[in-house]
Amino acid sequence: MAKKVKIEIDSSTEEKIKEAARKVFTKNGFAATRTRDIAEEAGINLALLNYYFRSKEKLFDIVMHENMQKFLMVLHGVFNMESTSLTEKVEAIADNYINLLKEHPDLPLFVLSEIRANPEKFALSMGIKKILLESHFYKQIKERTKAKINPLHLVMNIIGLTVFPFIASPLLQRVGNLKQSEFDKLMDERRKLIPEWIDGMLNKR
């Protein structure tokens, strides 16, 4: 009788698989990705991947949840600080997002592509509505704009100004003939510029 070989859970292998999954899901999307593609990217055999995560669906849910957590932690940590002004919150959001996206430049594409495919799922599972609409930050926007504009416009502007350059970075680097280090420097400049632009928008109302 053949003896069963027990595979010990190795956190480094688990992380390697998740990192490979992020790359492949970002490139191909969920539907077009095969577990074999992820195994090849991770440099392991398919049986080992299945041992760790059982199915593509389970692996995707884990990776997606972790990515959304990274994306939303920036907001959640800043939104309810009652001791900070609206401008200080915008500064913190821009600063934290730029740090996050410099470290994980593929994160926006991964998150946004799947939000488009399953908006209801992520709005409910991650509690995005509650994080935003019940926050001290949202109340400050409403007070500052005095109902002249929908506060969501400001939220969209902040996220767009911060996140879009990373989504479009391959194009922007070619158009501007920028090396990666030059693009990173440009993003660092936006840390100061974004709060100024948002403040200018609010002062015009």
Write out the CATH class of domain 10-54: mainly alpha
User: Which DSSP letter does residue 9 get?
Assistant: P
Nearest to 165 by CA among 196, 137, 200, 191: 191
What is the distance between the alpha carbons of residues 151 and 74, in angstroms, rounded to a whole number? 19
CATH 3.30.160.100 correct for 63-203? no
Q: What is the pLDDT of residue 6?
A: 43
Statement: residue 89 has pLDDT above 80? yes
pLDDT at 141: 87
The residue behind tokens 């027990």 is 6
Helix (H, G, I), strand (E, B) or coil at 146: coil
- Identify the pLDDT of residue 172: 94
According to the model, what pLDDT value does residue 124 have?
A: 63
171-188: average pLDDT: 94
Residue 205 pLDDT level (bands cut at 50, 70, 90):
low
Give the domain ranges of the chain: 10-54, 63-203
Structure tokens at 103: 């470290």
Evaluate if residue 101 carries a pLDDT over 50: yes
Q: Alpha-carbon distance 81 to 142, whole Å?
A: 16
Task: List, for residues 3-46, the tens digit of each pLDDT value.
Answer: 444 445 567 889 999 989 988 887 887 888 899 999 999 999 99
Q: Return all residues near 38 (Cβ < 8 A) that are at least 6 apart.
A: 17, 20, 21, 24, 49, 56, 59
Burial environment of residue 49 by CB neighbours within 10 A (0 to 12, 13 to 18, 19 or more): buried
Residues 59, 17: contact at Cβ < 8 Å? yes
Here the tokens at position 112 are: 């946004």
Q: What are the pLDDT digits (tens) for 122-147?
A: 666 667 777 788 888 888 888 888 76
Distance CA(5)–CA(92), nearest Å, equals 50
